Structure formats: structure tokens, C-alpha cells
Chain A
Amino acid sequence: MKFGVVTFPGSNGDYDAFKAVAERLGEEAVYLWHKDHDLQNVDVVILPGGFSYGDYLRAGAIARFSPIMQEVAAHARAGRPVMGFCNGFQIACEAGLLPGALLRNDSLQFVCAQVPVRVEASNRFTSGYKPGQVLTLPIAHGDGRYTADEDTLDRLEGEGLVTFRYVSSAGEVVPAWNPNGSARAIAGITNAAGNVLGMMPHPERAVDPLVSTGDGLAMFEAMLAHVGA
């Protein structure tokens, strides 16, 4: 199984994602250069974290026009998996692969922390977790406040597309544990077809207990179970 990690100018999570796949999961990973038009037959595309194009205009707004994004969009339209972490989530929203937008944290502070995140949906990305399981995942962002209109939020909830939510360490949704003011404490969503995931937390940085938890690894293992080796 082959994962492709897109490198945009300003990406900084591409190496983490590559290592998570190649070293922790033990599957093939390749870097995909933003100026290329070739996905190199990857099974899964990862849009990594970082500050693509310096977050100019809006986070993810320029990256979405990178040449490779045409192929990423086609890959997504074909129902094949795309995972966007942090800046990757912002890019996926700007590209229209996911609904909504990510705005400046309500605190106006950049947040860098290990936070409890609850698994809200059982889908191809979360099949390695139990429903309601509380993971500990790192976040590191200044623009992570998920925002969408009420109809969109209701639809996301109604169709079970809210995949992760920020919760307290006891697993409850409480404002004090919402690190960025996201609507309905949403930390991650999928599209309606269920093949595009976007999330602000970094599962690719939670694959080694030495530096975080190992809670993110099951997401990559789930891809292996779903797509097959």
C-alpha cells in the first residue's frame, strides 16, 4: 500500500506523515511535490500540516491552487482516500473538498498542546477505535476554529460526518476544553462520501510514545485495513 504526502512550500508536517507511514506503519510513502501533476499511483493522499504559502490571504487559500491539487481533487472525486491534517484540513476546506472553514482561534493565541479528542463516528478512518473512545492527540495551530453555517453543522451531525470532537479528559464536551472555539467543538470531519477526512489534531505526530501518545497510529492502520496492502 502506498501513501503520498504532498509537500507545499511551507509544509512542515510532511516529514512527520512520511515517517509515520514508512517507519511506524511500515508501508510505502512518497513525497508528492506541489508543482507536479503526478500522484504516482498512491492509494492514500495526505495533505500535511504546516503554513503553506505562509498562510497568505487565508490559511490554505493559495495551496489549493497548486498544480497537484487538481489530481488530489480528482482522486477525492473518485472516492479514494484523502487525509488532511491541520493545514491539510484548511487546504481541503478551501479547495471545497470539505465544507466549512477554519478561522483564527477564539483566544487569538497559537495553541500547541496535547488534547483529549473523542471519536464521534465510525468510518473508514476510525475503524481502529471504539466509538466514544477518547484519544490524546497533539494540536499546533493558530487558525483552527471550525466554522460553518448552522444548516451545514446540522447536516454534518445528522449524517454522522463529525468524526472527532474536543472534549475534557473525562470525555465530555465543555467549552473550557475547546482549544480554539470550534463550532460544536468539532475537531475533524469527513465529506458526505466518507473518503475525505480533515482534522486539526495531528495523528501523524502521535505514533510514537517517545514524543506524544501512540493514539494516532490506528488511523493509518485503519487505512491499511480499508484499502488493503
Chain B
Amino acid sequence: MTRYRAAVHITPRRGILDPQGKAVAGALHALGFSSVHDVHVGRYIILELEAQDAAAAERDIRAMCERLLANPVTEDFDIAAITEVAGVTA
């Protein structure tokens, strides 16, 4: 087994009102960042897990996202990176 570190982005599904994103966009405008026209606020989750290989790690993380980390009704997830943690082998 190898230890992996993975990063998962959870974002509000496009088309679903994201009042938090709108509020942040408004605050950025108030600061003078008038170039901003869209903001979405989500979560960034970092996981460390043991898996046989990177493909197995990704399968596990996908299942975790589908069952808990993201709400399938309102959120999308994206597994941004899976990297081996050097020097840790169980």
C-alpha cells in the first residue's frame, strides 16, 4: 500500500444560486476590482489515504465524494491532484 495525498474541489453547481459567491463578488467590486464578474465559493479538501495505486486511490476518493464530501443535488466535485507521499509505504 502506498500513501497518497489528494486534493478535491467541491463547487456549487452552475445554475444554482450561489449567494456567497455573489456577496464576495460585490465586496471585490467595492474594493475596486471592477474586472470581476463572477465568483463561486466552494470547498477545498485535502485527504491522505492508503491505496494500492493511484487509480485505486482515485476510485476511493470518487466514492467518498459521491457519498459524503459533495452533495449530488447541488454540488460538483473535481479531484484536482493525487500525489504519492514520499517515504510512506505501509
Contact = CB atoms under 8 A, between A and B. Distances in A.
A218 to B, nearest CB: 31
The number of chain B residues touching the other chain, given as a range, is 10 to 19
Contacts of A57: 43, 68-69
A149 B23 CA distance: 24
A211 B69 CA distance: 39
Given A57-B68, A61-B68, A108-B23, A181 B17 contact: yes
Contacts of A204: none
B73 interface: yes
B83 interface: no
Interface residues of A, number: 20
A58 B65 CA distance: 13
Interface string A140-168: 00000101110000000000000000000
Chain B, interface SS category: mixed
A100 interface: yes
B74 A101 contact: yes
A94 interface: yes
Contact of A103 (B16, B68, B69): B16
B74 A103 contact: yes
A61 to B, nearest CB: 7
Given A61-B71, A100-B73, A101-B73, A147 B16 contact: yes
A145 B19 CA distance: 11
A19 interface: no
A106 B73 CA distance: 17
A105 interface: yes
A94 B73 CA distance: 10
A101 B71 contact: yes
A105 B22 CA distance: 13
Q: Indicate the member of B16, B19, B20, B23 with the most A CB atoms within 10 Å.
A: B19
Contacts of A147: 16, 73-74
Contacts of B43: 57
Contacts of A65: 68
Interface string B16-41: 11011001000000000000000000
A76 B6 CA distance: 37
Given A57-B68, A61-B68, A108 B73 contact: no
Contacts of A149: 73
Interface string A105-118: 11110000000000
A147 B68 CA distance: 18
21 contacts: A57-B68, A61-B68, A65-B68, A93-B73, A94-B71, A99-B73, A100-B73, A103-B16, A103-B74, A104-B20, A106-B17, A106-B19, A107-B19, A108-B19, A108-B20, A108-B23, A147-B73, A147-B74, A148-B73, A149-B73, A181-B19
- 8 closest A-B pairs by beta carbon, nearest first, are A101-B73, A101-B74, A106-B19, A108-B19, A101-B71, A108-B23, A147-B74, A58-B71
Interface of B: 16-17, 19-20, 23, 43, 68-69, 71, 73-74
